[in-house]
Amino acid sequence: MSPDDKFWGSLARTVETAFYPSGMKGDLGKQLHLFRYVISYQQAKYIVDNYKGSTDEEKLINYIVKEKIWNWTSEESAKLHQKAYYDSEKGKFIYPEGHSTTNGGINLKVVTNDRFRSEFIINNGDEKFLTLLDEDATQDGKVNCSSFNYARHNDDVHKILDVEPSTPSFEPQFREESRYQHDKNGNRIKDSDGKETKFEVSKEVSKQYKIDWEKRVINFEARCSHGKTNRT
């Protein structure tokens, strides 16, 4: 099923009616939260299986161009998908295994379906989709993966239906564990203060990150060739 099929909007509106503003609670709430990863994997696989290109990013571009998808953008914030650990002793960021420093080390975020619901996170090195359920998912893929959004905008609905459920009690255990650094024996690594080292969203955005992200976005838009996104 296409990432922009009307079914996804219908499903999202049903979830919103049932769980907003009360929030995703109970077993059903947890199942619907986890279903976001299943949907995202299906949508990525649909693109990979049905469109030509040497990389997943090229296939997504061909999907957008061939199907004349107009309601997409690559300008939604991608900070959540650049999780890293800052090693204060070494004075540098450490990224999850599989993360590439190509193109400034920026994992690109592209959303379609009302410019928000269907989400694609693309590795900056091999231009591969990062999905949690990929059988070959790297640590970077597990930590910084895509997920379907029940909301249409980055608003309170998004916060309650898509953001707040992302807690250890709702998240897959293997994804939670992948957010930590491990030694060769599989034990969590601790810093000099005895704190476990965890890949997290940076609280500050550097000037260089903004420059590299902007370049990545402009390059993707140019390769799509038809029309603009919501760039103003």
pLDDT for res 231 = 43
Both tokens of 156, joined, read 């309170």
DSSP state of 138: -
How far is the C-alpha of 176 from the C-alpha of 199, rounded, in Å?
10
How far is the C-alpha of 46 from the C-alpha of 210, rounded, in Å?
31
pLDDT for res 205 = 78
How far is the C-alpha of 52 from the C-alpha of 183, rounded, in Å?
40
Cis peptide before 21 (omega within 30 of 0): yes
Does the pTM surpass 0.85? The reply is: yes
Task: Compute the residue count for the chain.
Answer: 232
Question: Strand 108-112 relative to strand 118-122: parallel, antiparallel, unpaired?
Answer: antiparallel
Contact between residue 200 and residue 85 where contact means Cβ atoms under 8 Å apart: yes
Select from 229, 65, 3, 32 the least CA-distant residue to 150. 32
Which segments in the chain show pLDDT lower than 50?
227, 229-232
Select from 231, 22, 8 the least CA-distant residue to 119. 8
Both tokens of 111, joined, read 């959303």
pLDDT for res 232 = 37
- Phi, psi (deg, nearest 5) at residue 160: -80, -40
